[in-house]
Structure 1
Amino acid sequence: MRIGRALLLTAVTLASAVTLSACDDDGKPNGSAGGNYVTGAAGISTVAKGSRTEAPKLDGETVDGKTLDVTSLKGKVVVLNVWGSWCPPCRNEAKYFATVSKELADGGKDVAFVGINTRDNSKQNAVAFEENFGITYPSLYDPDGKLMLRFPAGTLNPQAIPSTIVLDKEGKIAARTLVAINDEQLRSMIDPVLAEQ
């Protein structure tokens, strides 16, 4: 009897997960995902230009003690990467963010990278992480995850660290992923938004 109950519970859990992540007939997600995201095979979700929503105001103190207001970057494509020094997948993808951010800066592209460091108890850990991986762009310091909560419902999952969001030049959410990515996947999020007129 216990085996049957366990199998039933597993089947219900799997069915619920598929339902929550499935898209409806219009290609729009239903369930708890929210927004107008269409998710590709690599776990990267995009939003058509006419269906995008404004990103929330993201401002505050950076890991290095300066202040930053992301709205000052309007006119550029902005890549937001949510990370924590305690997070193994964040460490795995950090080298790709360091490389791509430098390539785009060297190429004179209108792209700005901003990190959102979350759930680190001290800035020392965050600073050490950035130094170890060669991260040269600023990161907002968000130890309590309050900046993540500013995003519209369904945009970010506070438990999904790392996460990456790409804002278009108007400051609207154009793409996102809730998993660690490599350099090719990162460029596949940025390049189409950068090419928009």
Structure 2
Amino acid sequence: MSLSRAPRRTLLAVGVLSAALTLSACGGDSNGKSGGGGNTNFVTNTGGIATAPKGERAATGKLAGETLDGEQLDVADLKGKVVVLNVWGSWCAPCRAEAPHFAKVAKDLEGKGVEFVGLNTRDPNKQPALAFEEDYGVTYPSLYDPQGKLILFGFPKGTLSPQSIPSTVVLDKEGRIAARSLMALNEEKLRSMIDPLLKEK
């Protein structure tokens, strides 16, 4: 590698890291505004949950990789089911607050056409994240995304993308982005994002 290329690669790496850090840590932006601009018709209810009309939903980018348990997971393989994607970190207090609700709803809806997938981010190693899952009874898989690359590149610009930690994005049965919350959720609000999509034909 030439010396002239080294700084360029370093700058690129710093740029990616800086972009990852723009996710507001443990943020509570509940205004539900769309991220990325463009022609968006998102509807935000008073609970801070934004939804996209059925005919105007976008597909995600690639959301695949290694889970905290060392398995390979590709969210695209879950098409045909409603998929709940939860962005979390073991260090995040609001994530800890919502974790019991996610664990309960995931267990209640097991085998009923819903799959939960966590996106674990900013944990520099897996141990704290694995301990978090054990402490809160989280049994569904989480993709390990310490630098936030899946979060940055898995959601196209102008879609209901996760912009804080925690964030929750729910995909419809076609794998399209249907709803998003940028705050910690209780059981009632989480179910309010899932139930309408389960009823869709």
Tell me the TM-score normalised to structure 1 length: 0.81
**How many residues were matched structurally?**
168
Shift of 1:30: 7.3
The residue aligned with 1:166 is 170
Structure 1 distance, partners of 2:180, 2:157, is 14
Shift of 1:152: 1.6
- Return the index of the structure with the highest Cα Rg: 1
Aligned counterpart for 1:75 among listed residues 76, 80, 84: 80
CA change 1:131–1:30 in 2 (3 A) is: closer
The residue aligned with 1:136 is 139
CA-based RMSD: 1.7
Give the partner amino acid of 2:97: N
Matched, 1:123 2:153: no
User: Does the CA-based 8 Å contact 1:36-1:52 persist in structure 2?
Assistant: no
User: Does the CA-based 8 Å contact 2:103-2:136 persist in structure 1?
Assistant: yes
| Identical-pair percentage | 63
Give the partner amino acid of 1:115: G
Aligned counterpart for 2:186 among listed residues 174, 182, 188: 182
Structure 2 distance, partners of 1:169, 1:177, is 18
User: Does the CA-based 8 Å contact 2:34-2:42 persist in structure 1?
Assistant: no
CA change 1:112–1:31 in 2 (3 A) is: closer
Gapped runs of 5+ residues in structure 1? 1-20, 23-28
The residue aligned with 1:193 is 197
**SS of residue paired to 1:147:** helix
Q: Could you say which structure has the greater relative contact order, defined with CA pairs below 8 angstroms and 6 or more residues apart?
A: 2
**SS of residue paired to 2:165:** coil
User: Does the CA-based 8 Å contact 1:164-1:177 persist in structure 2?
Assistant: yes
User: Does the CA-based 8 Å contact 1:60-1:67 persist in structure 2?
Assistant: yes
Gapped runs of 5+ residues in structure 2? 1-30
Deviations along 1:52-103, whole A, 9 cap, x unmatched? 0011110000011111000000000000000000000000000000000000
